[in-house]
Chain A
Amino acid sequence: MSAATRLVTLALLVAAFAVLSGVPAALAEGTPVGGTVESTLALSLGEPSSFARASAGHRQSVYDATIPVEVTATDAPVRLSLADGEAISGARRGHLVRGHLSLAIALQAAAGRGRFRSLDASVDPVLEQWGEPVSLEGTTIRLRQAVRGAHQPPIGGYHKLLLVTVTAAGP
Protein backbone atom coordinates (compact mmCIF):
# COMPACT_ATOMS: atom_id res chain seq x y z
CA MET A 1 0.00 0.00 0.00
CA SER A 2 1.48 3.38 -0.97
CA ALA A 3 1.95 6.21 1.53
CA ALA A 4 -0.81 8.21 -0.20
CA THR A 5 -3.24 5.28 0.01
CA ARG A 6 -2.41 4.83 3.70
CA LEU A 7 -3.00 8.54 4.33
CA VAL A 8 -6.38 8.46 2.57
CA THR A 9 -7.27 5.23 4.41
CA LEU A 10 -6.35 6.83 7.74
CA ALA A 11 -8.40 9.94 6.95
CA LEU A 12 -11.42 7.80 5.98
CA LEU A 13 -11.03 5.73 9.15
CA VAL A 14 -10.97 8.88 11.27
CA ALA A 15 -14.06 10.19 9.47
CA ALA A 16 -15.80 6.81 9.86
CA PHE A 17 -14.94 6.75 13.57
CA ALA A 18 -16.34 10.26 13.95
CA VAL A 19 -19.65 9.23 12.36
CA LEU A 20 -19.89 5.96 14.32
CA SER A 21 -19.05 7.52 17.66
CA GLY A 22 -21.29 10.53 17.18
CA VAL A 23 -18.44 13.04 17.37
CA PRO A 24 -19.70 16.38 16.00
CA ALA A 25 -18.36 16.88 12.49
CA ALA A 26 -16.98 20.34 13.27
CA LEU A 27 -14.96 18.95 16.17
CA ALA A 28 -13.72 16.01 14.10
CA GLU A 29 -12.58 18.36 11.32
CA GLY A 30 -11.11 21.10 13.47
CA THR A 31 -9.13 19.18 16.10
CA PRO A 32 -5.47 18.72 15.20
CA VAL A 33 -4.16 15.22 15.86
CA GLY A 34 -0.58 14.73 16.92
CA GLY A 35 1.72 13.02 19.36
CA THR A 36 5.19 11.70 20.01
CA VAL A 37 6.23 8.27 18.85
CA GLU A 38 8.99 6.18 20.38
CA SER A 39 12.22 5.97 18.38
CA THR A 40 11.87 2.62 16.62
CA LEU A 41 13.28 0.49 13.83
CA ALA A 42 11.18 -2.42 12.53
CA LEU A 43 11.38 -4.91 9.70
CA SER A 44 8.89 -7.44 8.38
CA LEU A 45 9.70 -10.08 5.79
CA GLY A 46 7.12 -11.70 3.55
CA GLU A 47 7.13 -15.13 1.96
CA PRO A 48 10.16 -15.48 -0.32
CA SER A 49 9.82 -17.02 -3.76
CA SER A 50 12.27 -19.76 -4.61
CA PHE A 51 14.79 -19.36 -7.43
CA ALA A 52 13.15 -19.80 -10.81
CA ARG A 53 14.99 -19.89 -14.12
CA ALA A 54 14.41 -16.51 -15.80
CA SER A 55 16.46 -17.26 -18.91
CA ALA A 56 18.42 -20.23 -20.16
CA GLY A 57 21.13 -20.53 -22.75
CA HIS A 58 24.20 -22.55 -23.65
CA ARG A 59 26.49 -19.86 -22.26
CA GLN A 60 24.48 -18.48 -19.37
CA SER A 61 21.38 -19.16 -17.34
CA VAL A 62 19.79 -16.66 -14.98
CA TYR A 63 17.73 -17.50 -11.90
CA ASP A 64 15.52 -14.96 -10.12
CA ALA A 65 13.89 -14.92 -6.68
CA THR A 66 12.09 -12.26 -4.63
CA ILE A 67 11.17 -11.43 -1.06
CA PRO A 68 8.74 -8.68 -0.02
CA VAL A 69 9.87 -6.51 2.89
CA GLU A 70 8.30 -3.75 4.95
CA VAL A 71 10.21 -1.10 6.89
CA THR A 72 9.26 1.25 9.70
CA ALA A 73 11.79 3.75 11.04
CA THR A 74 11.31 6.94 13.01
CA ASP A 75 14.83 8.24 12.40
CA ALA A 76 15.97 9.23 8.91
CA PRO A 77 17.80 8.63 6.68
CA VAL A 78 16.77 4.98 6.44
CA ARG A 79 18.66 2.48 4.33
CA LEU A 80 17.76 -1.00 3.16
CA SER A 81 20.69 -3.24 2.30
CA LEU A 82 21.46 -6.92 2.00
CA ALA A 83 24.42 -8.63 3.64
CA ASP A 84 25.97 -12.07 3.48
CA GLY A 85 25.17 -13.74 6.80
CA GLU A 86 27.84 -16.42 6.46
CA ALA A 87 30.99 -14.79 5.09
CA ILE A 88 32.08 -11.28 6.00
CA SER A 89 35.13 -11.35 3.71
CA GLY A 90 36.99 -13.57 1.27
CA ALA A 91 36.03 -15.38 -1.91
CA ARG A 92 32.84 -16.89 -0.48
CA ARG A 93 31.33 -13.53 0.43
CA GLY A 94 28.23 -12.94 -1.69
CA HIS A 95 28.49 -16.29 -3.47
CA LEU A 96 26.12 -19.23 -3.14
CA VAL A 97 28.04 -22.14 -1.63
CA ARG A 98 27.80 -25.91 -1.36
CA GLY A 99 30.33 -27.46 0.96
CA HIS A 100 33.73 -26.24 -0.21
CA LEU A 101 32.34 -25.19 -3.59
CA SER A 102 31.01 -21.78 -4.48
CA LEU A 103 29.40 -20.44 -7.64
CA ALA A 104 31.78 -18.39 -9.77
CA ILE A 105 29.40 -15.46 -10.20
CA ALA A 106 28.26 -13.54 -7.13
CA LEU A 107 24.62 -13.24 -6.18
CA GLN A 108 23.07 -9.91 -7.12
CA ALA A 109 20.27 -7.97 -5.46
CA ALA A 110 18.04 -5.00 -6.21
CA ALA A 111 15.00 -3.42 -4.61
CA GLY A 112 11.99 -2.05 -6.43
CA ARG A 113 13.12 -0.76 -9.81
CA GLY A 114 16.71 -0.23 -8.68
CA ARG A 115 19.65 -1.72 -10.55
CA PHE A 116 21.19 -5.02 -9.48
CA ARG A 117 24.20 -4.78 -7.17
CA SER A 118 26.69 -7.53 -6.50
CA LEU A 119 26.77 -8.96 -2.96
CA ASP A 120 30.52 -9.64 -3.04
CA ALA A 121 31.45 -5.95 -2.68
CA SER A 122 33.42 -4.90 0.39
CA VAL A 123 30.50 -2.74 1.56
CA ASP A 124 26.97 -4.13 1.73
CA PRO A 125 25.05 -2.68 -1.22
CA VAL A 126 22.36 -0.14 -0.33
CA LEU A 127 19.28 -1.23 -2.26
CA GLU A 128 16.89 1.51 -1.22
CA GLN A 129 17.12 4.69 0.80
CA TRP A 130 14.50 6.97 2.31
CA GLY A 131 15.28 10.53 3.33
CA GLU A 132 12.51 10.78 5.89
CA PRO A 133 10.92 8.52 8.51
CA VAL A 134 8.89 5.68 7.01
CA SER A 135 5.93 3.70 8.27
CA LEU A 136 5.21 0.25 6.86
CA GLU A 137 7.07 1.19 3.69
CA GLY A 138 6.91 -1.82 1.41
CA THR A 139 9.31 -2.88 -1.30
CA THR A 140 10.46 -6.10 -2.91
CA ILE A 141 14.04 -7.34 -2.89
CA ARG A 142 14.92 -9.12 -6.13
CA LEU A 143 17.75 -11.64 -6.24
CA ARG A 144 19.53 -12.72 -9.40
CA GLN A 145 21.99 -15.57 -9.83
CA ALA A 146 23.74 -16.07 -13.16
CA VAL A 147 25.48 -19.34 -14.02
CA ARG A 148 27.89 -19.46 -16.95
CA GLY A 149 29.79 -22.13 -18.81
CA ALA A 150 29.21 -25.16 -20.96
CA HIS A 151 28.55 -27.30 -17.89
CA GLN A 152 26.29 -25.12 -15.79
CA PRO A 153 25.84 -26.55 -12.29
CA PRO A 154 22.27 -26.84 -10.99
CA ILE A 155 21.94 -24.22 -8.23
CA GLY A 156 19.51 -26.27 -6.16
CA GLY A 157 22.21 -27.67 -3.88
CA TYR A 158 23.76 -24.28 -3.16
CA HIS A 159 22.71 -22.13 -0.25
CA LYS A 160 23.27 -18.81 1.53
CA LEU A 161 22.04 -17.00 4.63
CA LEU A 162 21.17 -13.41 3.72
CA LEU A 163 20.65 -10.62 6.24
CA VAL A 164 17.95 -8.17 5.19
CA THR A 165 19.33 -5.05 6.83
CA VAL A 166 17.69 -1.80 7.85
CA THR A 167 19.96 0.98 9.11
CA ALA A 168 18.68 4.17 10.64
CA ALA A 169 20.20 7.63 10.73
CA GLY A 170 23.83 6.98 9.80
CA PRO A 171 26.53 7.51 12.40
Chain B
Amino acid sequence: MRFHNIRRLTFAMTVAMLTVAGASLAAGGGVSISPGIFEHVASRGSVGSIKVSNTTSTSMVVKVALRPWLQELSGEVSPNRGARLSEVGLNASSFTLGAGSSRTVGVSLTGTPPGRSQYGAIEVVGTPPGHAVKGIKFAYRLVSSLRLDAPTNAQSFRAQPGGLVEQGSARHGTLLLAVRNTGNTIVPIGGTVLIDGQGRSLRANASTKAIVPGQTVNVPLAELLGSLPAGRYTVTVGLSQGGHGLGRVTRTIALR
Protein backbone atom coordinates (compact mmCIF):
# COMPACT_ATOMS: atom_id res chain seq x y z
CA MET B 1 0.00 0.00 0.00
CA ARG B 2 2.79 2.32 1.01
CA PHE B 3 4.63 1.47 -2.25
CA HIS B 4 1.52 2.46 -4.25
CA ASN B 5 1.47 5.84 -2.50
CA ILE B 6 5.13 6.37 -3.35
CA ARG B 7 4.40 5.42 -6.99
CA ARG B 8 1.48 7.87 -7.13
CA LEU B 9 3.57 10.62 -5.59
CA THR B 10 6.44 9.91 -7.99
CA PHE B 11 4.09 9.97 -10.97
CA ALA B 12 2.57 13.27 -9.85
CA MET B 13 6.07 14.73 -9.46
CA THR B 14 7.01 13.47 -12.91
CA VAL B 15 3.92 15.03 -14.50
CA ALA B 16 4.57 18.31 -12.68
CA MET B 17 8.18 18.34 -13.81
CA LEU B 18 7.27 17.51 -17.39
CA THR B 19 4.79 20.39 -17.30
CA VAL B 20 7.58 22.70 -16.17
CA ALA B 21 9.90 21.28 -18.83
CA GLY B 22 7.14 21.84 -21.41
CA ALA B 23 7.34 25.56 -20.71
CA SER B 24 10.60 25.51 -22.71
CA LEU B 25 10.51 27.60 -25.88
CA ALA B 26 11.84 24.60 -27.80
CA ALA B 27 8.45 22.98 -27.28
CA GLY B 28 7.16 25.57 -29.77
CA GLY B 29 9.84 24.51 -32.22
CA GLY B 30 12.61 26.29 -34.01
CA VAL B 31 15.27 25.83 -36.63
CA SER B 32 18.28 23.57 -36.33
CA ILE B 33 21.23 22.58 -38.46
CA SER B 34 23.53 19.65 -38.18
CA PRO B 35 26.51 19.41 -38.00
CA GLY B 36 27.45 22.52 -36.02
CA ILE B 37 30.99 22.25 -37.39
CA PHE B 38 31.42 20.92 -40.91
CA GLU B 39 34.95 19.56 -41.31
CA HIS B 40 36.31 17.57 -44.21
CA VAL B 41 39.47 17.18 -46.24
CA ALA B 42 39.38 19.58 -49.19
CA SER B 43 39.03 17.12 -52.04
CA ARG B 44 37.21 17.96 -55.26
CA GLY B 45 33.63 16.70 -55.49
CA SER B 46 31.06 16.07 -52.79
CA VAL B 47 32.37 16.71 -49.28
CA GLY B 48 29.19 15.92 -47.37
CA SER B 49 25.89 17.49 -46.44
CA ILE B 50 24.13 19.53 -43.80
CA LYS B 51 20.65 18.85 -42.47
CA VAL B 52 18.29 21.78 -41.93
CA SER B 53 15.20 21.15 -39.78
CA ASN B 54 12.13 23.27 -39.17
CA THR B 55 10.37 22.10 -36.02
CA THR B 56 7.94 25.01 -35.85
CA SER B 57 4.28 24.70 -36.79
CA THR B 58 4.59 26.93 -39.88
CA SER B 59 6.46 26.60 -43.14
CA MET B 60 9.53 28.72 -43.61
CA VAL B 61 11.59 30.14 -46.45
CA VAL B 62 15.15 28.91 -45.93
CA LYS B 63 18.24 30.39 -47.56
CA VAL B 64 21.63 28.74 -47.30
CA ALA B 65 24.85 30.52 -48.22
CA LEU B 66 28.55 29.88 -47.89
CA ARG B 67 30.39 33.01 -46.75
CA PRO B 68 34.01 33.94 -46.13
CA TRP B 69 34.80 34.99 -42.57
CA LEU B 70 35.44 38.59 -41.60
CA GLN B 71 37.97 38.40 -38.79
CA GLU B 72 38.58 41.24 -36.37
CA LEU B 73 41.99 41.94 -34.86
CA SER B 74 40.55 40.50 -31.64
CA GLY B 75 40.03 37.18 -33.43
CA GLU B 76 36.22 37.44 -33.47
CA VAL B 77 34.69 36.26 -36.73
CA SER B 78 31.44 36.96 -38.49
CA PRO B 79 30.27 35.87 -41.96
CA ASN B 80 30.90 38.43 -44.69
CA ARG B 81 27.32 38.81 -45.90
CA GLY B 82 28.43 40.74 -48.95
CA ALA B 83 30.52 37.89 -50.35
CA ARG B 84 30.34 34.21 -51.26
CA LEU B 85 32.96 31.58 -50.65
CA SER B 86 34.78 30.55 -53.81
CA GLU B 87 35.28 26.99 -55.03
CA VAL B 88 32.51 25.59 -52.78
CA GLY B 89 28.94 24.95 -53.89
CA LEU B 90 25.57 23.85 -52.51
CA ASN B 91 22.97 21.74 -54.30
CA ALA B 92 20.19 23.98 -52.90
CA SER B 93 20.42 27.54 -51.68
CA SER B 94 16.79 28.59 -51.32
CA PHE B 95 13.73 26.46 -50.57
CA THR B 96 10.57 26.33 -48.52
CA LEU B 97 10.71 23.98 -45.57
CA GLY B 98 7.33 22.76 -44.36
CA ALA B 99 6.32 22.63 -40.71
CA GLY B 100 8.07 19.78 -38.94
CA SER B 101 10.19 18.82 -41.92
CA SER B 102 13.88 18.56 -42.72
CA ARG B 103 16.02 18.83 -45.82
CA THR B 104 19.56 17.75 -46.58
CA VAL B 105 21.75 20.16 -48.52
CA GLY B 106 24.83 18.78 -50.26
CA VAL B 107 28.16 20.60 -50.10
CA SER B 108 30.76 20.12 -52.81
CA LEU B 109 34.15 21.48 -53.72
CA THR B 110 33.99 22.67 -57.32
CA GLY B 111 37.67 23.46 -57.74
CA THR B 112 40.97 23.52 -55.91
CA PRO B 113 40.94 26.42 -53.47
CA PRO B 114 43.98 28.65 -53.22
CA GLY B 115 46.23 27.23 -50.53
CA ARG B 116 44.51 23.80 -50.88
CA SER B 117 42.16 24.64 -47.94
CA GLN B 118 38.99 26.66 -47.51
CA TYR B 119 37.47 28.08 -44.33
CA GLY B 120 34.22 29.96 -44.01
CA ALA B 121 30.72 30.05 -42.64
CA ILE B 122 27.62 28.07 -43.54
CA GLU B 123 24.82 30.58 -43.07
CA VAL B 124 21.25 29.30 -42.78
CA VAL B 125 18.47 31.90 -42.57
CA GLY B 126 14.90 30.76 -41.90
CA THR B 127 12.22 33.39 -42.33
CA PRO B 128 8.71 32.63 -41.06
CA PRO B 129 5.78 33.89 -43.15
CA GLY B 130 3.88 37.04 -42.33
CA HIS B 131 4.54 40.71 -41.96
CA ALA B 132 6.42 42.60 -39.30
CA VAL B 133 4.69 42.70 -35.94
CA LYS B 134 4.53 46.36 -34.92
CA GLY B 135 7.63 47.21 -36.90
CA ILE B 136 9.91 44.25 -36.17
CA LYS B 137 10.02 40.88 -37.83
CA PHE B 138 12.39 38.23 -36.53
CA ALA B 139 14.06 35.48 -38.52
CA TYR B 140 16.31 32.58 -37.54
CA ARG B 141 19.97 32.65 -38.54
CA LEU B 142 22.32 29.79 -37.73
CA VAL B 143 25.99 30.01 -38.60
CA SER B 144 28.18 26.94 -38.53
CA SER B 145 31.82 26.64 -39.34
CA LEU B 146 32.97 25.17 -42.67
CA ARG B 147 36.46 23.72 -42.44
CA LEU B 148 37.83 22.16 -45.58
CA ASP B 149 41.35 21.22 -44.53
CA ALA B 150 44.29 20.72 -46.85
CA PRO B 151 45.41 17.08 -47.10
CA THR B 152 47.92 16.24 -44.37
CA ASN B 153 50.86 16.21 -46.78
CA ALA B 154 49.88 19.64 -48.11
CA GLN B 155 49.38 21.39 -44.79
CA SER B 156 51.52 24.43 -44.19
CA PHE B 157 52.16 26.00 -40.78
CA ARG B 158 53.49 29.52 -41.19
CA ALA B 159 52.95 32.94 -39.67
CA GLN B 160 54.20 36.45 -40.22
CA PRO B 161 54.61 38.46 -37.02
CA GLY B 162 53.90 42.18 -37.03
CA GLY B 163 54.27 44.82 -34.35
CA LEU B 164 53.61 44.83 -30.63
CA VAL B 165 50.44 46.44 -29.32
CA GLU B 166 49.85 47.54 -25.73
CA GLN B 167 46.15 47.38 -24.91
CA GLY B 168 44.51 48.86 -21.86
CA SER B 169 45.99 51.13 -19.22
CA ALA B 170 49.75 51.82 -19.29
CA ARG B 171 51.81 48.91 -17.91
CA HIS B 172 48.63 47.34 -16.47
CA GLY B 173 47.06 46.14 -19.69
CA THR B 174 47.78 43.35 -22.14
CA LEU B 175 50.73 43.07 -24.48
CA LEU B 176 49.74 41.70 -27.89
CA LEU B 177 51.58 40.72 -31.06
CA ALA B 178 49.97 41.14 -34.47
CA VAL B 179 50.26 37.78 -36.27
CA ARG B 180 49.24 37.03 -39.84
CA ASN B 181 48.50 33.40 -40.66
CA THR B 182 50.42 32.76 -43.87
CA GLY B 183 49.87 29.01 -43.71
CA ASN B 184 46.82 27.10 -44.85
CA THR B 185 45.35 25.68 -41.62
CA ILE B 186 43.07 26.99 -38.91
CA VAL B 187 45.13 25.40 -36.12
CA PRO B 188 45.42 28.00 -33.31
CA ILE B 189 48.64 30.00 -33.09
CA GLY B 190 50.25 30.71 -29.72
CA GLY B 191 53.67 30.55 -28.15
CA THR B 192 55.97 31.49 -25.32
CA VAL B 193 57.05 34.98 -24.33
CA LEU B 194 60.06 36.48 -22.57
CA ILE B 195 59.96 40.18 -21.68
CA ASP B 196 63.38 41.42 -20.61
CA GLY B 197 64.69 44.83 -19.52
CA GLN B 198 65.21 47.28 -16.61
CA GLY B 199 66.78 44.44 -14.62
CA ARG B 200 63.52 42.48 -14.75
CA SER B 201 62.21 39.62 -16.83
CA LEU B 202 58.75 38.17 -17.26
CA ARG B 203 57.94 34.81 -18.82
CA ALA B 204 54.46 33.93 -20.04
CA ASN B 205 52.54 31.65 -22.36
CA ALA B 206 50.74 33.52 -25.11
CA SER B 207 47.03 32.82 -25.57
CA THR B 208 46.27 30.71 -28.62
CA LYS B 209 44.14 32.21 -31.40
CA ALA B 210 42.55 30.53 -34.39
CA ILE B 211 43.47 32.78 -37.31
CA VAL B 212 41.86 32.38 -40.71
CA PRO B 213 44.58 31.89 -43.38
CA GLY B 214 45.57 35.27 -44.78
CA GLN B 215 44.10 37.19 -41.82
CA THR B 216 45.85 39.09 -39.03
CA VAL B 217 44.93 38.83 -35.35
CA ASN B 218 46.44 40.42 -32.26
CA VAL B 219 47.60 37.45 -30.17
CA PRO B 220 47.66 38.25 -26.42
CA LEU B 221 51.20 37.66 -25.14
CA ALA B 222 51.04 38.61 -21.46
CA GLU B 223 49.05 40.49 -18.86
CA LEU B 224 51.39 43.19 -17.57
CA LEU B 225 49.48 43.87 -14.33
CA GLY B 226 51.86 46.68 -13.39
CA SER B 227 54.66 44.19 -12.68
CA LEU B 228 57.22 45.95 -14.89
CA PRO B 229 58.59 49.47 -14.25
CA ALA B 230 58.52 52.04 -17.03
CA GLY B 231 61.34 51.72 -19.54
CA ARG B 232 62.50 49.92 -22.65
CA TYR B 233 62.06 46.16 -22.96
CA THR B 234 63.00 43.42 -25.37
CA VAL B 235 60.18 41.01 -26.10
CA THR B 236 61.08 37.59 -27.50
CA VAL B 237 58.23 35.44 -28.75
CA GLY B 238 58.50 31.81 -29.83
CA LEU B 239 55.45 31.25 -32.01
CA SER B 240 53.98 27.79 -32.46
CA GLN B 241 51.00 26.23 -34.18
CA GLY B 242 49.75 22.83 -33.10
CA GLY B 243 53.18 21.68 -31.98
CA HIS B 244 54.93 23.13 -35.04
CA GLY B 245 57.49 25.82 -34.23
CA LEU B 246 57.00 28.94 -36.35
CA GLY B 247 60.24 30.64 -35.37
CA ARG B 248 61.35 33.25 -32.89
CA VAL B 249 60.67 36.96 -33.16
CA THR B 250 62.22 39.82 -31.16
CA ARG B 251 60.65 43.23 -30.71
CA THR B 252 61.36 46.18 -28.46
CA ILE B 253 58.78 48.24 -26.67
CA ALA B 254 58.88 51.25 -24.37
CA LEU B 255 56.49 50.92 -21.44
CA ARG B 256 55.46 54.29 -20.01
Residues of A within 8 A of B (CB): 1, 6, 9, 12-13, 16-17, 19-20, 38-46, 48, 50-51, 65, 67-70, 72-75, 81, 83, 85, 88-89, 96, 123-124, 126, 136, 138, 143, 155-171
Contact = CB atoms under 8 A, between A and B. Distances in A.
Given A16-B13, A72-B32, A167-B78, 8 more contacts: A6-B21, A39-B34, A43-B31, A44-B25, A123-B70, A159-B132, A160-B136, A166-B142
A123 B143 contact: no
Contacts of B114: none
Interface of B: 6-7, 10-11, 13-14, 17-18, 20-21, 23-26, 28-37, 69-72, 75-78, 81-82, 119, 121, 125, 127, 132-145, 147, 186, 210-212
A166 B139 CA distance: 12
A152 B140 CA distance: 32
Select the residue from A19, A81, A89 with max chain B CB neighbours within 10 A. Answer: A19
A159 B76 CA distance: 29
Q: State the 8 A-B residue pairs at the shortest beta-carbon distance, nearest first.
A: A44-B30, A50-B134, A42-B32, A39-B35, A163-B141, A70-B25, A167-B143, A165-B141
Nearest to A88: B81
Nearest to A19: B10
Contacts of B141: 43, 83, 85, 163-166
B143 A44 contact: no
B38 to A, nearest CB: 9
